[in-house]
Structure 1
């Protein structure tokens, strides 16, 4: 049966369209093959010729420039410097020991550096460049380049290495970098491939560690042609990495250096807070160390010297150290009692020189006693018995609550190493931590900052800042990251009675500016610059009844490690507080003698923005202060800015 002409025409059209589609697809495939063949034979001919001649192409990671760290005024405190280094790639070198032997004939390489490099190459992938020696001279670079035919896999290259222009003055704040270790890698989930580069610089402590991700940047890549002999012929392609973000701290480098110099010779720490915004203007631990030693490779002798120093230069005492706060804690006890309504400002307590509580005698620092004491006099003269009494009325739980409100027993979130939490003990704390019942004697000890109470200098500075302002001051160390402002500053009101705060501040004023105040000898005379504060002395040993009966041994007659810690907290100026400070001098003796003068000098330096006039000091101190200013002057950096990355 014949098909209708209409059906035949329609079938022909369908077959034609399908033939066109199939033909088009075939033509496309043949075209793609032809294009690829042309690309391989013409465009990539040189590359395949290299491969045919046993040359090859290798991909290498390019470390980015590490972000720089500046102080609040733009002074560089962590910079980068050029570093010529010698590297080797194991798979290009062949017999690595033979090549290294040739290399040692050209440049001097310490035996330990050779051993480390060989071990590193055996642990790493064969294509990973391993640093043999860093900080080589340009002459050595030239010699290596001249001898490349007999040094397969060896290359002299230039990179950037960390440098700390201010040395020990910023060591505990900025920290330092060092080569990535296996331990570092074990602490990181999905580590950046950059961290696999041997001797890659990684933040170890301080802000360098806590801001590592921001400072590190993103790695780049380069393609290089390598001959069959392992020699680099040329660079074929390069994609530079993204430099790390620059960071600006709130620290004032000039004030930081002044405080470091002022504490020279002491095992001590100090913290300065700007009350307008919570910025940390200085965070100092003394003695310090040069962080550049760790970047360049610290010697065994230098390491032993640091470890054996009884003043513990590696410890960031300002944030890591915890100490009994002594009488600087009395403001906490006083505020807790006043806020609870268990005392008024006019209530008095008689001080005979001791208080008997629960069968134990607790002594006042003044053996003969102070007589009748009210709020104002008790703070001014630092009478212990007054606080023994009011602490029993208010109880430890309310004291601990007040301590935490003022920033004690609280870990402040700062990009520094091992920030301490301290202890603001209460009944639950002793039960859970020590498995013991709280006793009334524990409350009495805590009332004057002894017993279980432990605070850091950072916490004491925060406490003082909150007392001076009545607000929840949050300390801030990072001002800007890549130009973006970081949080911090003045929080909400603490919710404390303003009349109570005024009375506490007035009593702190009397401590420094009344002739019977414990810090009167460290007063400031300059109008509009005067300070208020509180001295503290915390015991580190138990005084036996026998010693007390015979006469307590003076601090200067004891071995250094058995002497009392000296403390002072304060703020200035009185009427419109701008700066708060805390000072702790380990085993310094009395707070009035050892810590208060340091705090006075720091607050004056901060207020004047440099050396204050001698008229700010009592006349009998001016000659001594002039000599001190001359001694310190050379330690203060110039106020110039440094914005260069290299």
Structure 2
């Protein structure tokens, strides 16, 4: 059937209308697409460029260089050494076990370290690098680099690790660093990203942890270009981190090393202070340990040896341990009596060898007694009965107040770990801590540094420095931080009559330099170098038995405090020999040798010793010098 012209016209109009509608729709779609493309390519160009670069560019943190630690003369105590390590990233490694197996064909891997690394990779974010092998050789690093295409996610790196070139000498002061643990991270509310760098080291004990913020520094960053599988193609740019601040301590390496050699294998400690500034020139505990073993990861066997040693090499005895001060405490009782006005320098007491108090007898160390003695003689002869009677007159409250004034009973402000406050007891303390009333017998015991009284070697040195100067000397261990000197604090006059201090100093002079002094054999005879001191023997058992008849751990502690020169003092020394026996026989000779080393800033002349002691001093000097030389060579090999 033929279409009419009208039908043809109507059909043409409909087709034209549909075409226009379709064309309009197509044009609108093309316009919308164009606008969207312009929006994405122009308006959002920066955002999409960033997203593209995030897929192509990775940012890695660069660990900062840790601040170094020096002694007062610029000798290095702690530094950083380059080390090689191999790390893995889980998101790039694929099959972890397979990659590790291939790596093991190139590098000698420790099974325990590998197990730890695999566990760490499974529990950490996939983008974090985890150390699989640390302190590997250059040859091993080279083999890994050559075989990089077959080891996805594996990266050979050069890093810095802490090193202590003087090994055991400063272990108890400086401490050591170690990898950040979960326990460490829990201490921070918002841990810095640098703390999550694989095997990043932070201070664990000692000065390393007390000045962690200053020593750590700030992390740097580098941008690296990676390919489609995440392999690093090139480094685009790098921003180095900020190195941590260097610390300079007040310690003298030569003196510290000498003390270590002089103490030998004893379980002992010694503190040397500058009595004018309060600078700690040496603070040594014996025996010691090598902190480098902890940095590298100490073995179970090595750690067991340290823990099972009954001389406790891990303990910082100078600040951590507190001992009954024994007769060194008599200077506190004497000052308390003088200040309270209950005695004068010429007042005497009679010592028959004991004191009867109710049904109990308190003995003097000299069973036959000292007869009638005054203040100077009581210190010279270390008469116990004199102080028993004095303490009952002056009372424990006055004695405790004097002890605190001289630096006892509170923790010294030094940046070391586990600093003890010791114990300066009084009536309130016993009532509060023991739930009992103070007894007269407690006062009698306290008068000679027994009973509840406890002091650390550092506190003993502070007490001696304050006595020698009449000023409130405060200890200083850090000389400067980042090149800025730290202030010297304290130093104001003590609230003690200077005349009373002179009376006690005269007694301490007699202890060492009079013909009947308990430490006469340990005197210094060089002109202008004479030493004043006080011996102490603190009991660790109640029964009266000779030290030679009991095991080592049941013997008395030996103590000696001293300052020199007698006129215009410069140096104070405190020595404690654990279970050493008598203070005059065990501690005083050690303190005298340390004092001479400090006064002469090196090996003293033999003429400084009494004639009868010079041959022994010569042999001692030769032995110590030989031991120090041998140790230095051995440590040089270990380094």
Aligned residue number for residue 600 of structure 2: 608
Task: Return the offset for 1:57.
Answer: 2.0
Deviations 1:480-538 (A, max 9, x none): 00011112345210121111111100100000001100000101110111100000000
Q: Which residue of 2 aligns with 1:253?
A: 253
SS at 2:324 equivalent: coil
Pairs within 5 Å for 1:65-214: 65-214=65-214
1:466-481 alignment, distance < 5 Å: 466-481=466-481
User: In the aligned structure 1, how far is the partner of 2:86 from the partner of 2:443?
Assistant: 64
The separation in 2 between residues aligned to 1:235 and 1:264, in whole angstroms, is 53
What residue number does 1:642 align with? none
Shift of 1:31: 11
Q: Deviations for 1:261-304, whole angstroms, at most 9, x for unmatched residues? A: 10011000000010121000000000000000000111111001
1:62 is aligned to 2:49: no
**1:629 aligned onto 2:616:** no
Match of 1:391 in 2: 391
- The SS at the match of 2:472 is strand
Alignment of 1:25-64 (within 5 A): 48=52, 56-64=56-64
Secondary structure in structure 2 of the residue aligned to 1:345 = coil
Match of 1:575 among 563, 567, 575: 567
- Compute the displacement of 1:596 (Å): 0.3
Alignment of 1:319-334 (within 5 A): 319-334=319-334
Q: Is 1:599 equivalent to 2:591 in the alignment?
A: yes
Task: Give the corresponding residue for 2:412.
Answer: 412
Q: Could you say if the C-alpha distance between residues 149 and 427 of structure 1 is closer, same or farther in structure 2, counting changes exceeding 3 Å? A: same
Counterparts of 2:595 and 2:38 in 1: how far apart (Å)?
Answer: 81
Matches within 5 A, 1:368-379: 368-379=368-379
1:328 offset after TM fit, Å? 0.3
Deviates more, 1:377-386 or 1:58-67: 58-67
What is the CA–CA distance in structure 2 between the aligned matches of 1:252 and 1:89, rounded to whole Å? 45
Distance in structure 2 (CA, Å) of the matches to 1:480 and 1:509: 35
What SS does structure 2 have at the residue aligned with 1:269? Answer: strand
How do 1:225-240 residues align onto structure 2 when only pairs under 5 Å count? 225-240=225-240
Q: Distance in 1 between matches of 2:605 and 2:303?
A: 41
User: Quick one: distance in 2 between partners of 1:472 and 1:622?
Assistant: 37
Of 121-130 and 308-317, deviating more is 121-130
What is the deviation of 1:329? 0.2
Matches within 5 A, 1:351-366: 351-366=351-366
For residues 539 and 97 of structure 2, what CA distance do their matches in structure 1 show? 61
Q: Which residue of 1 aligns with 2:28?
A: none
CA deviation after TM superposition for structure 1 residue 230, in Å: 3.5
Pick which of 486-495 and 526-535 moved more. Answer: 486-495
How many angstroms apart in 1 are the aligned matches of 2:42 and 2:345? Answer: 95
More displaced stretch, 377-386 vs 339-348: 339-348
Is the CA contact 1:93–1:230 (under 8 Å) kept in the aligned structure 2?
no
Displacement of 1:33: 8.2
In the TM superposition, residue 237 of structure 1 has moved relative to its aligned partner by: 2.3
Q: Report the counterpart of residue 345 of structure 1 in structure 2.
A: 345
Contact 2:276/2:473 (<8 A) preserved: no
Contact persistence 2:276–2:469 (CA under 8 A):
no
Distance in 1 of aligned mates of 2:376 and 2:204: 48
Structure 2 regions of 5+ residues with no counterpart? Answer: 1-36, 633-638
Deviation at 1:32, TM superposition (A): 10
Q: Which has the higher contact order (CA 8 A, sep 6+)?
A: 1
Residue 546 of structure 2 is matched in structure 1 by 554
Residue deviations 1:365-389 (CA, integer Å, cap 9, x gap)? 0000000011010000000000000
Instruction: Say which SS state the counterpart of residue 58 (structure 1) adopts.
Output: strand
Q: How many residues are aligned here? A: 597
1:86 & 1:279 partners in 2: Cα distance? 44
3-state secondary structure, aligned to 1:135: strand
Shift of 1:39: 7.0
Partner residue, 1:23: none
Report the secondary structure of 1:189's partner residue: coil
| 3-state DSSP of counterpart to 1:122 | helix
TM-score when normalising by structure 2? 0.91
- Conserved? CA contact 1:258–1:635, under 8 Å: no
**Displacement after TM superposition at 1:38 (Å):** 7.7
**Is the CA contact 1:202–1:212 (under 8 Å) kept in the aligned structure 2?**
yes
> Which runs of 5 or more structure 1 residues have no equivalent in the other structure?
1-29, 544-551, 640-645
**Offset of 1:35 from its aligned partner?**
6.4
Question: In terms of mean alpha carbon deviation, does 305-314 or 174-183 score higher?
Answer: 174-183
For residues 420-448 of structure 1, what are the alpha-carbon distances to aligned partners after superposition, in whole Å with 9 as ceiling and x for unaligned? 00000000010111111000000000000
The structure-2 alpha-carbon separation of the partners of 1:533 and 1:224, relative to structure 1 and needing over 3 Å to count, comes to same
Query: What is the aligned partner in structure 2 of residue 547 from structure 1?
Result: none
Structure 1 residues 590 and 240: alpha-carbon distance in aligned structure 2, compared to 1, 3 A threshold: same
1:253 shift after superposition? 0.6
- Aligned-partner Cα distance in 2 for 1:221–1:444: 66
Shift of 1:189: 3.0
Partners of 1:495 and 1:297 lie apart in 2 by 51
Structure 1 CA distance, aligned partners of 2:118 and 2:225?
A: 25
Q: Tell me the equivalent position of 1:280.
A: 280
- Partner SS for 2:136: coil
Checking the alignment, whether the CA contact within 8 Å between 2:268 and 2:287 is kept in structure 1 is yes
Whether contact under 8 Å (1:273, 1:579) holds in the other structure is yes
Q: Distance between the aligned counterparts of 1:35 and 1:278, measured in 2? A: 69
CA 232–567 in structure 1, closer or farther in 2 if over 3 Å, else same? same
